[in-house]
Structure 1
Amino acid sequence: MAIYLDCNATTPVEPSVASVVVRFLEKDFGNAASPIHDYGVFALVAVEHARGQVAEVVKARRDEVIFTSGATESNNLAILGLADAGLGRGRRHLITTTIEHKAVLEPFEEMARLGFEVQILPVRADGRFDPQRLADALRPDTLLVSTMQVNNETGVLQPLAEVADILANRDIWWHVDAAQGFGKELEQLRHPRIDLISLSGHKIYGPKGVGALIARKYDRQFPPLRPLVFGGGQEQGLRPGTLPVPLIAGLGEAAKLALRNNGERIAHCQAFREKALATFSALGAEQNGAEEYTLPHVLNVSLPGINSELAIKALKNVIAVSSTSACTSHTHTPSHVLTAMGLSSENVEQSIRLSWCHMTPEVDWSEVGTILRARRG
């Protein structure tokens, strides 16, 4: 079996997380909305405990965590949920960047259909957007700025600290898609200026199908979000429906471990990275995204003389890697992220993404190099 190097698409599940999920599936299976007996009480306690574990990662309040099905739903709630507030206040200007995930770009398209003006900022060749371009784009009618924390294709950390300074005294909502950075890079998301944070369980060694939107309160008030789904009062009235207690408990456990083991995980990933970099450097690969801003568990490279599809197929018995975002890989369209960074069509077609984690076993890098040299001919 090939060694899995596609953790940015989804991560393996921590053993203790799996144990927690199974426990709440098989034994403690009560409904958290029915705390009229011990089963329901225990389920509710488990949900609130997990809420606190997720909040602690970014130093938020427990009641600021809204459980969802994942970052895609959280992104939609954060963006589309502000539509009524924007229309009511005559603030119809929205800002995002060209390298955002489709789970942000497509809700922005829907906002444009509703009558909002969407401004999409370019990025530099290093894979980051320019904070000054953002500052220059702000207007009196700007309602929302949405910027990702870490790019899913390149692993490049975006300049959130600079954005926080720019937005410090402005009445503008700020949403951060943190699907790829939550629990991995800790400090940036703890900045109190960030209003809305989206995250997914399956990116931090937790279960699929669960995530959260962290909505920070000001003067005890949530951002003026409207629910996208109706039918109950769960999750502060913003996300109705029976809570998936097993998944939420698993997410809480994953968040706890992400915080507790952060330093150890970074060290493991950095050591792994050095071997991967050495192998691809020897092949003459070009790294996509500046190394100084790239998190230690991701590497995106273009291999001269080797089409990415051929490289992935050639390596399939040794390492499992990808060429683009998991959500768009079925479309066979060029990466919008790498294109936005100014890469040539040839370099985009030759790009592959490797992403690993603290549970990734050692790779026979000499075999990887041998296979790719042979494929290049």
Structure 2
Amino acid sequence: MSIYLDCNATTPVSPTVAELVTYYLREEFGNAGSRTHEFGLSAKHAVEKARGQVASLADADKSEVFFTSGATESNNIAILGLSAEAIKSGKRHIITTPIEHKAVLEPIGYLAKNGFDVTYLNVDQSGIVNPTDLKKSLREDTLLVSIMHINNETGSIQPISEICKILEDHGAYFHIDAAQGYGKYPEELTNSRIDMLSISGHKLYAPKGIGALIVRRRGFSKIPLEPLMFGGGQEKGLRPGTLPVALIAGLGLACSEAQEHYLEWRNKCQKIKTSLLDILLPLGAKVNGENSASHVLNISIPHVNSEAAMVALKGIVAVSNGSACTSQNYTASHVLEAMGYDEERIDGAIRISWCYMTEELPLKDIQEKIQRLL
């Protein structure tokens, strides 16, 4: 059976997290909104404990954590939820990048069709935003800056601290899609200048279907987000619907485990990355993007098509050639296109991603299979 190397699409679930989720599904199955009996109170306690665990990774207050179905929903709430404020304030300018996940680009695209002005910051082949470009793009009517933490295709890490410094004296709300970095590179995400953080459980060893949006207060003021759905008072009215207690408990534990072990896990991931580079660079592999995270590697090998490489590696390792969210209808990577790579390099791009649970890799077999394609 293949060794799984597509953790940027989804990670395996931590065994202890799976155990806890099963416990709440089978034993403590109460509704957190039921206040008249111990089943509901126990569920509410589990939710509030998890809220604190999620918040702790970003040095936020647990009252600033809102549970969602995942980062896609969190991104939509953070972006579209500011529409009413834009109308009220007259601020309709948004700054983002062309390498964002579709869950950011499409909501912003929707706003652009409805009268908003959008500035897309250029990125070069490094995949890194130039903070100076952000500074030049800020306007009095800039409402929102949305820049991801770690790119899901290249793993490039954006200069979050520098961006926060530029935004220190500007009132624009700063949103980060932190799906790929939350619990892996938490250091910069504790910056209080970050107004909103989107999180996805299944990128962090928790189950699919659960995530969170952290919405920091500015002093005593709340960010004026409006709900996108209606029908209940859950999550202070921002995200109605019965809370999935088991999934929330699992996300909380996953965050707690990550907070304790992220440095150890990161070091293990870096060793895997080094071992892969040792066998791929001699084959002529070109790394796509710079300053990439320890758990992801995006490469192109001259004259090797990504589809052919994936077929050759079938049964050995499972890799991908882009974002899982758009893989049903494969199109050229909008990320690599925005970075300015040519068609051959984009067509040959392979994304390899792993985690602390990844088994020892059959490096010799990988090298030999790709060598035969040259």
TM range (shorter): over 0.9
- AA paired with 1:371? K
Q: In the aligned structure 2, how far is the partner of 1:194 from the partner of 1:49?
A: 23
Q: Alpha-carbon deviation of 1:270?
A: 1.0
| Residue of structure 1 equivalent to 2:332 | 334
Give the Cα–Cα distance (whole angstroms) in 1 for the partners of residues 19 and 127 of structure 2. Answer: 38
| 1:1-377 aligned within 5 A | 1-290=1-290, 293-376=291-374
| Matches of 1:332 and 1:192, distance apart in 2 | 38
8 Å Cα contact 1:97/1:120 also seen in 2: yes
Give 2:116's aligned amino acid.
Answer: F
* C-alpha deviation, 1:120, in angstroms: 1.1
In the TM superposition, residue 113 of structure 1 has moved relative to its aligned partner by 2.1
Cα displacement (A) at 1:125: 1.3
Return the letter of the residue paired with 2:307.
Answer: E
Cα deviation digits, residues 350-373 of structure 1 (max 9, x gap): 110000000000111111111111
Q: Deviations over 1:152-209 (max 9, x none)?
A: 0001100111110000011110100000000000111000000000000000000100
Partner Cα distance (1:22, 1:240) in 2: 24
Residue 114 of structure 1 deviates from its aligned partner by 2.2
Cα distance in 2 for partners of 1:175, 1:267 equals 28
Distance 2:268 2:63 in 1: 34
Q: C-alpha root-mean-square deviation of aligned residues, in Å?
A: 0.7
SS in 2 for 1:327: helix
Q: CA deviation at 1:220?
A: 2.7
> Which deviations, in whole Å up to 9, do the C-alpha atoms of 1:299-329 show, x marking residues without a partner?
0000111100010111011000000011111
Letter in 2 for 1:10: T
Q: Distance in 2 between matches of 1:370 and 1:219?
A: 58
- Return the letter of the residue paired with 2:79: I
Q: Displacement, 1:262?
A: 0.8
Greater alpha carbon shift after TM alignment, 315-324 vs 122-131: 122-131
Secondary structure of the structure 2 residue equivalent to 1:328: helix
User: How far apart, CA to CA, are the structure 1 residues paired with 2:17 and 2:315?
Assistant: 28
Q: Distance in 1 between matches of 2:299 and 2:321?
A: 9
- Note if contact 1:124-1:130 (Cα within 8 Å) is conserved in structure 2: no
Equivalent position amino acid for 1:346 in 2: E
Alpha-carbon displacement from aligned partner over 1:101-159 (angstroms, at most 9, x marks no partner)? 00000000111122111111111211111111111001000000000000000011001
Q: What do the CA deviations read for 1:242-266 (whole angstroms, capped 9, x no partner)?
A: 0000000000010000101111101
Pairwise CA distance, 1:282: 1.4
Letter in 2 for 1:243: L
Give the Å deviation of 1:213.
0.2
Structure 1: distance between partners of 2:114 and 2:29: 41
Letter in 2 for 1:228: L
Q: Percent same amino acid at aligned positions?
A: 52
The answer on whether the counterparts of 1:94 and 1:118 sit within 8 Å (CA) in structure 2 is yes
Determine the C-alpha separation between the residues in 1 that align with 2:338 and 2:106: 17
**Aligned AA for 2:54?**
V
- Deviation readout 1:229-250 (Å, 9 max, x if unpaired): 0011111210001000000000
Measure the CA separation in 2 of the matches of 1:345 and 1:263: 37
**Separation in 1, partners of 2:286, 2:138:** 35
2:212 & 2:63 partners in 1: Cα distance?
12
Deviates more, 1:298-307 or 1:112-121: 112-121
CA distance in 2 between counterparts of 1:323 and 1:219 reads 44
Quote the Cα distance in structure 2 between the aligned partners of 1:28 and 1:341.
49
